[in-house]
């Protein structure tokens, strides 16, 4: 449907251009307009003596085609914009209507083993991994410090 709307829109734009040119070419009633661009008597020689009748008939048909295209395009656009599912979703539904399965809940992470303390002067203690909560990770306990001697 989108291709048809685009095609009819292009046809309507071309019809608009033809209408503009037809209106500008028509013979003026009082020697004014674009008809003078070809010269006063040159319009009869260029388009013929009875060109006013033919041009007005062509203008009527082009205007009628314009109005019909406008109505058809408005109906197609309304139908295209008010659909509930897109073409992509319809294609998915046709491809696999029964293969929809509910999602499985995520498994909680396994507890990581605690690292072994390496003997030495600088021991590093790593806090255990936090669970899936909003609680802060507790700070590691610092070794007790000895108080300075009193005098």
SS3 104: coil
- pTM reported for the whole predicted model: 0.46
- Predicted pLDDT of residue 55: 83
pLDDT in tens, 64-85: 999 999 999 999 999 888 887 7
Extract the tokens encoding 131: 């669970």
pLDDT in tens, 91-111: 888 876 565 555 666 666 666
Closest CA to 15 of 73, 64, 54, 82: 64
pLDDT at 43 over 90: no
Compute the mean pLDDT over every residue in the chain, rounded to the nearest whole number. Answer: 75
């Amino acid at each position: 449907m989108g291709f048809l709307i685009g095609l009819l829109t292009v046809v309507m734009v071309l019809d608009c251009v033809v209408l503009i040119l037809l209106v500008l070419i028509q013979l003026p009633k009082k020697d004014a307009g674009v008809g003078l661009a070809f010269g006063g008597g040159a319009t009869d020689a260029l388009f013929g003596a009875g060109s006013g009748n033919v041009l007005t008939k062509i203008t009527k048909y082009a205007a009628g085609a314009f109005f019909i295209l406008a109505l058809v395009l408005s109906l197609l656009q309304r139908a295209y914009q008010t659909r509930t599912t897109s073409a992509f979703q319809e294609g998915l539904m046709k491809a696999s209507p029964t293969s929809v399965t509910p999602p499985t809940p995520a498994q909680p992470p396994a507890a990581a083993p605690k690292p072994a303390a390496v003997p030495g002067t600088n021991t590093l203690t790593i806090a255990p991994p936090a669970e899936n909560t909003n609680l802060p990770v507790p700070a590691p306990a610092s070794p007790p410090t000895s108080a300075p001697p009193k005098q």
